[in-house]
Amino acid sequence: MELKTLREYIKEASEKGVAIGHFNISNIEALHGIYNAAKKLNLPVIIGVSEGEEEFIGKNEVATLVKEIREKDNYPIFLNADHHYSFESVKSAIDAGYDAAIIDAVKLPLEENILLTKKCVDYAKEFNKKNGRDILIEAENGFIGQSSKLLDKIPEGISEATMTKPEDAKTFVDQTGIDLLAPSVGNIHGMVKGGNPKLDIERIKEIRQACGVPLVLHGGSGISDEDFKKAIKAGISVIHINTEIRVAYKEALEKYLKENPNEVAPYKILAPAVEAIEQVVYNRLKLFNE
Ligand SMILES: [Zn+2]
């Protein structure tokens, strides 16, 4: 069976009322854990690397790893440049062979954000035409915080006022030509210890209708199963999970080292971490595809 493009898998997910999981990695162990889980469920999956994660694993290396799995196993696994902050870093991800990129210019004044986002879209379009690719560009509208970690409380600067307004989402999509939109709908990056805020499901519906492109939910860690299901039905087609994977990795590693203080073989030390990631991803993918 010939693989479809990421754009087609996302369209298919949106038509079926399911969502594709996007999971971040910093190393090859996480890639294996995620791929193992996706394979068990036979579902398409997106691997994400932020600028920091990408620097650690290597930009060309991660592109090669994902492409190798996709081509060797004929499996729908794709690579996304998650939250890249400059044109140069988006461009180099595209050039390296990524399948999608997020230009995150949300900190800039709106006019500058639009210009920079459009520049990335134009570059991707040109690249696609020249190389027969279909690389997608995503951008964020509204603010959702910035770090994938455990938080004591909801970060400063996040409120209903910073959530995406449907009319703004439409203008932003029209002016930039992006393929995917990451809205702010009560989601935040990171996991809040006392529980993450609830999603504004009505807002998701309105944004999806107004902007006309598939929506990506960032900051999926810590959101309740019920909210996920409702958000997907309301128009979310891709969901980002990062912090939960980081926590699972760290806890499995800590436990193993504590129980096996004399073990030095990395492939033994890290095996439980791969399994822990697989478990998290398996459960999330299953939920996103119910
Ligand atoms: Zn994000």
Q: Which of 106, 225, 110, 124 is nearest to 179 (CA)?
A: 124
Which residue stretches of the chain are H helix?
6-16, 28-41, 51-57, 59-73, 87-96, 110-131, 166-176, 201-211, 225-234, 243-259, 266-269, 271-288
Check whether 74 has a pLDDT greater than 90: yes
Distance CA 104, CA 86 (A): 8
Q: Which of 115, 104, 109, 38 is nearest to 77 (CA)?
A: 38
The pLDDT tens digits for 75-102 are: 999 999 999 999 999 999 999 999 999 9
pLDDT of residue 195: 72
Q: How far is CA 232 from the centre of its chain?
A: 15
What single letter denotes the amino acid at residue 135?
I
Dist. CA 216 → ligand 1 center (Å): 9
Neighbours of 202 (CB within 10 A): 11
pLDDT of residue 197: 77
Neighbours of 217 (CB within 10 A): 28
pLDDT of residue 131: 97
Dist. CA 263 → ligand 1 center (Å): 36
pLDDT of residue 47: 98
The pLDDT tens digits for 228-258 are: 999 999 999 999 999 999 999 999 999 999 9
pLDDT of residue 146: 66
113 three-state secondary structure: helix
**Catalytic residue selected from 73, 82, 179, 200:** 82
Mean pLDDT of 166-172: 96
Dist. CA 274 → ligand 1 center (Å): 22
CA angle, 165 as apex, 159 and 171 as ends, to 5°? Answer: 140
Token pair 């394979």: residue = 39
Q: Is the pTM of this model over 0.85?
A: yes
Check whether 153 has a pLDDT greater than 80: no
Residue 283: band (very low, low, confident or very high) from pLDDT cuts 50, 70, 90: very high
The pLDDT tens digits for 38-59 are: 999 999 999 999 999 999 999 9
Check whether 30 has a pLDDT greater than 70: yes
8 three-state secondary structure: helix
Rounded mean pLDDT of the chain?
A: 94
Dist. CA 140 → ligand 1 center (Å): 9
Check whether 207 has a pLDDT greater than 70: yes
Is 82 known to be catalytic? yes
